Amino acid sequence: MANLFFIPNNIITGENAIRLSMDHITAFGKKALIVTDEAMVKFGNVKKLTDELDGVGIAYEIYPGINSEPTHSMIDAGAVIYKESGCDFLIGIGGGSPLDSMKAIAVVAANGGRITEYAGKKIEKDSPPTVAIPTTAGTGSEATKVSIITNTDTDVKMLLSDAKLMAKLAVVDPVFTLTVPPSVTAATGIDALTHAVEAFTSVKAFPMSDIFAESAVVKIFENIQACYTDGSNLSARQQMATAALEAGIAFSNASVTIVHGMSRPIGALFHVAHGQSNAMLLNVCLKFLKQGAVPQLCRLANGIGVYQDGMMPEEGADAFVNATLALLKTLDVKPIQAFGVSEEDFFRLIPKMADDALASGSPGNTRRVPTKDDLMGLYKELWSEGL
Ligand SMILES: NC(=O)c1ccc[n+]([C@@H]2O[C@H](COP(=O)([O-])OP(=O)(O)OC[C@H]3O[C@@H](n4cnc5c(N)ncnc54)[C@H](O)[C@@H]3O)[C@@H](O)[C@H]2O)c1
Ligand SMILES: [Fe+2]
């Protein structure tokens, strides 16, 4: 079977990547819409970018109106600002939320209408040039053809997936991630780990995606704790930034599976940050998906050094699952109850969450394909695990 492998046109990585990126950015247009959040303005990351843009004579308009879990109205408003301010390309700087928003605004700017019209639809026109500058090591959005935007009318996190959403240029400078606080370092790093494990065990995995997935898993096991305990460790931050990029490339090509499928409804309905909901779900989902993915998990056990000679494949897979669960324990993963979710609301919404998860298509990529009953059972287990 043949597979098409998608990545951005160019990827610049390493310290001072932003300066090197100017050689490319000057070819993209005359005025950029910078899509970001208020925290990026406060931390001075936007200023680092605008200083470089000033240096090469590129004009810009700053749209800092994004927050965690971006909504459809933020996207539609951004597209209006893009047009009214006469921009001809876009730069997203921030975590996955501003990057996803930047890619979605570009789609609306090129194709018209509102972002909610594009859920599950093929996007017709090419976006204007887009530049993605991540400041968290997590989503890999800088290198994915995915954008996740919440439709607040339906309380559904829309999964937009189309080659036209891929950024033209990804600029991955680990220096930006030095200011990420421990809780966000853990949540975003676990998001990247989830991308890599799901891509590696997905029914859509193929040799090119496996290379990136496996490499990301190894890097994350080796570096996530160092970043969590000492945020100023630049070499560990560099490894995590690369791992998140690799994990994004892996899942953008091979898809995510059950964890992300079940995670999005929790984010949309209870406003739990994406990495946090993935982290709590890994606990119950890894054991579920293992039955369909023993050889893959055994290979990952070998990669992270927990496979021992003479182990049967099943034992190897168990070794990987146990190592992952042990890692999560060191990263202060919170249970669902810690997010102010009431038992009554959670159980009432389990059927909707299971339906929305299945409708997203992600659970169908799992090697052990879950039914709606399986998903409802796993949501219930998630609740009881947290008690
Ligand atoms: N497009 C994709 O492929 C993809 C993949 C996974 C997740 N997502 C989506 O990405 C979003 C989550 O992205 P995220 O996890 O990066 O979180 P985020 O962008 O929401 O950021 C989380 C918090 O960290 C802060 N932050 C970001 N960078 C910082 C820095 N350098 N220093 C200090 N604080 C910083 C932000 O201001 C915010 O408060 C969700 O909407 C999720 O659904 C997208
Ligand atoms: Fe994710």
Atom number of ligand 1 nearest to Cα 140: 3
Residue 157 pLDDT > 90, yes or no?
A: no
Task: Give the model's confidence band at 319: pLDDT under 50 very low, under 70 low, under 90 confident, else very high.
Answer: very high
**Mean pLDDT of all residues belonging to the chain:** 96
pLDDT of residue 292: 98
pLDDT of residue 256: 97
Task: Give the model's confidence band at 329: pLDDT under 50 very low, under 70 low, under 90 confident, else very high.
Answer: very high
Task: Give the model's confidence band at 1: pLDDT under 50 very low, under 70 low, under 90 confident, else very high.
Answer: confident
Å from CA of 24 to ligand 1 middle: 25
Q: What is the pLDDT of residues 80-95, one digit of tens each?
A: 999 999 999 999 999 9
Å from CA of 294 to ligand 1 middle: 31
Residue 230 pLDDT > 90, yes or no?
A: yes
Q: Which residues line ligand 1 (CB under 6 A)?
A: 37, 39, 43, 68-69, 94-97, 100, 135-136, 138-141, 144, 146-148, 176-177, 179-180, 184, 188, 191, 248, 274-275
pLDDT of residue 283: 87
> Other CB atoms closer than 10 Å to residue 361's CB: what's the count?
14
- All CATH 3.40.50.1970 domain ranges of the chain, comma separated, are 10-177
Residue nearest to atom 38 of ligand 1 (CA): 68
CATH among 3.40.920.10, 1.20.1090.10, 1.20.1250.20, 1.10.3720.10 for 182-386? 1.20.1090.10
pLDDT of residue 254: 97
pLDDT of residue 188: 97
Å from CA of 319 to ligand 1 middle: 30
CATH architecture observed for domain 10-177: 3-Layer(aba) Sandwich (3.40)
- All CATH 1.20.1090.10 domain ranges of the chain, comma separated, are 182-386
Å from CA of 37 to ligand 1 middle: 10
Task: Give the model's confidence band at 159: pLDDT under 50 very low, under 70 low, under 90 confident, else very high.
Answer: confident
Averaged pLDDT, 208-216: 98
Q: Given ligand 1 and candidates 6, 41, 139, 165, which is best to mutate, with the most ligand atoms within 8 Å of its CB?
A: 139
Burial of residue 35 (number of CB atoms within 10 Å: 0-12, 13-18, 19+): buried
pTM surpassing 0.85? Answer: yes
Q: What is the pLDDT of residues 233-285, one digit of tens each?
A: 999 999 999 999 999 999 999 999 999 999 999 999 999 999 999 999 998 99
Per cent of the chain over pLDDT 90 is 96
Task: Give the model's confidence band at 332: pLDDT under 50 very low, under 70 low, under 90 confident, else very high.
Answer: confident
Averaged pLDDT, 29-41: 97
Residue 386 pLDDT > 90, yes or no?
A: no
